[in-house]
Chain A
């Protein structure tokens, strides 16, 4: 996997400190390094959030260790304030920030592109174009960082991080460095002075930072990761980076256009190697810029082409801005085939229209949409059932602010469309804090927010503190399923062990909330009756923030080991279907994938492959036909 390659590259570079916060598609990098932490003498931690993760990694660098910090694209926003200051000062030991991004939002709520941070905060950006480069460039990123003494960002995307290919491995270093933080010299002595971001130091620090950037550019001019393939005078020059290189190559292979089209693949995308680009922009009038995310390369290359207009001549640009490629979503070889053919006036068809028409017809008739859903036995299904019914019974148009995790699906049919606002990590609680203060403007709706246990530590605590201090009228429901479930059960500060399995002190969410002097209740989402009563009571007890912690491990959690709590069965005599009056509550509304409505027998039945035996459906069936 691309992520394994990045982890290997870091090991070959001799990385010492590894930090991160889990997020698809980045999580495997830290997980893989955690596995070899002992034998490779690494310190690996899952930090509370990305900002702290970057600070912990920076501490490693300032103590002259090689450090790496890993996150998904949205994490870079969380870390951005620290990133700005780290980049302004520079680094001591090599410091690499790995951002794994998700064009097409395959498992994200956004298509965030962190590349502009490199330009905005003036540090180098590397984008590997295949699996071998993922390994080689991860290693090189540390060398570059130590060469220019600043942070380097390595950007991957889902189709590299979560794809696999052949990689030739290198040697692992043997040296064991000693950590120490030196502060004996003056503040501008980067390796030996105190590290201070003072207003009076900004001018010299910024000048030093820009020198590092021009040093990087000089190195990039000769980098083997920037490579041109194609004729000396092509009809079309394609400039690309990242895994898009593979899409372009495949498109050119299929179209047989390697003799007419040139490909400049860039591995170093900020600062741009301006001489190399000047040389290649000069060989062709038509330039096609291929990238995912924002038009980052496109804008920067256009600016460079304008600057060098005298030398390279007037160009016609194609890319995401003029519609040659769609402006959003991820790319693929087919979109490249279409784009290249549009520019060159060629055409291509592999599968006949007749086959395509037949396929479309069959899809329409026979492939119902497979929407995402909570797993069978997921505690969130029960939690949202409870919150949804409590808000309905309360009958004051109350609503739920959501957050990021599996429980984001609470906005969809499997969560009974209970979540009405869903944005960033921690923002459900923050917004609930705001809504809960609008009574003075006549707002009377009850406000609830949900978050998971990992999210609680990551970003909810400051928002909850805000609500408590400002006496916001709202209820926070913590869906504690004992781990960072969505990304693969990484531990968090509430877990008994860390990334490498060592036992660590557990931070108790209930105790933390109690220390805020607000009403805190505990509940089990599988105890529908008891928890519903608590929830309704909390809804009536308005005026201040209240917290309800619903504790039940994830159905897939290693803690549960696939054990069923109950062996579910149906009493066919009691399931009356249309005669019951329940209108198939179990399947039509509750929708657990462990249940099947047998349309022949007109009875519910248990899917023995999928059912995990949580027993909740037995409490939902009004006829008591489902037995636990």
Chain B
């Protein structure tokens, strides 16, 4: 078993939109924790999600285990959002004054926004709202940096790098390497490691 968790269970939510690699990200975190002896429950909402819907993974990380795959409302310790509007949606239900958030600022417009029925809020408002619902929030444009690596999908692993850099959960690089090597084809391992590294720097810059 790794070190004692800051909270037990530590409640992490990874949120995004179908196609952003949310499910892989949550399983990577889960496997990294299990690798260190923790017990993890992951609840995922997907199925129809490839079709542009919201995707959310609830991770319950604990020394003892047995937690519900659906987190009780208001109980999140950390929200990692791959899309800014999803951060707001998740915080409104699972947030509390002590919650922290890490958020990709690149929007994915919903159909209602594309067709002009609804308005996607301005970035400055989104940031302000997220900050008002959190004790501490970090923002970055991982999509842009991921595109530089060749595919926007790497944004999910960058967000995990940022999560590792907060130090809230034990997520050392070597364990990431072990876990990711079993999850992706060998040709993609190096890029994923690079993405994780870029993610770690995103938060260091902030501090």
Contact = CB atoms under 8 A, between A and B. Distances in A.
B118 interface: yes
B66 to A, nearest CB: 6
Interface string B37-62: 00111111111101111100000000
A597 interface: yes
Given A106-B48, A370-B53, A166 B96 contact: no
B88 A164 contact: no
Nearest to A2: B69
Contacts of B69: 159-160, 163, 165, 243, 246
B110 interface: yes
A427 to B, nearest CB: 20
B65 interface: yes
A334 B58 CA distance: 15
A382 to B, nearest CB: 16
Contacts of A106: 45, 47-48
Given A351-B73, A368-B85, A358 B132 contact: yes
Interface in A126-181: 130-131, 158-160, 162-166
A258 B47 CA distance: 36
B121 interface: yes
Interface in A324-379: 332-334, 337, 350-352, 355, 358-360, 362-363, 365-375
Contacts of A369: 110, 112, 118
Contact of A375 (B41, B50, B67): B50
Contact of B68 (A249, A351, A593, A607): A249
A359 B111 contact: no
A372 B48 contact: yes
Contact of A367 (B43, B46, B89): B89
B47 A159 contact: no
Interface range, B side: 35 or more
A130 B39 CA distance: 13
Contacts of A589: 115
A347 to B, nearest CB: 15
B22 interface: no
The winner among B19, B43, B75, B91 for most chain A CB atoms within 10 A is B43
A256 B65 CA distance: 17
B116 A588 contact: yes
B120 A368 contact: yes
B143 interface: yes
B129 A609 contact: no
Contacts of A166: 34, 39-40, 65
Closest 10 CB pairs of A and B: A107-B47, A163-B69, A351-B74, A368-B118, A359-B92, A24-B47, A373-B52, A164-B42, A246-B68, A366-B121
Interface of B: 17, 19, 27, 30, 34, 39-48, 50-54, 65-75, 85-86, 88-89, 91-93, 95-97, 108-116, 118-121, 125-126, 129, 132-133, 143, 147, 152
Given A368-B85, A370-B89, 8 more contacts: A164-B41, A166-B40, A332-B72, A359-B92, A371-B111, A372-B48, A374-B51, A409-B51
7 contacts: A106-B45, A164-B27, A366-B85, A370-B112, A409-B51, A608-B147, A609-B143
Interface of A: 24-25, 106-107, 130-131, 158-160, 162-166, 243, 246-247, 249-251, 254, 332-334, 337, 350-352, 355, 358-360, 362-363, 365-375, 406, 409, 413-414, 556, 584, 587-589, 591-593, 595-597, 607-610
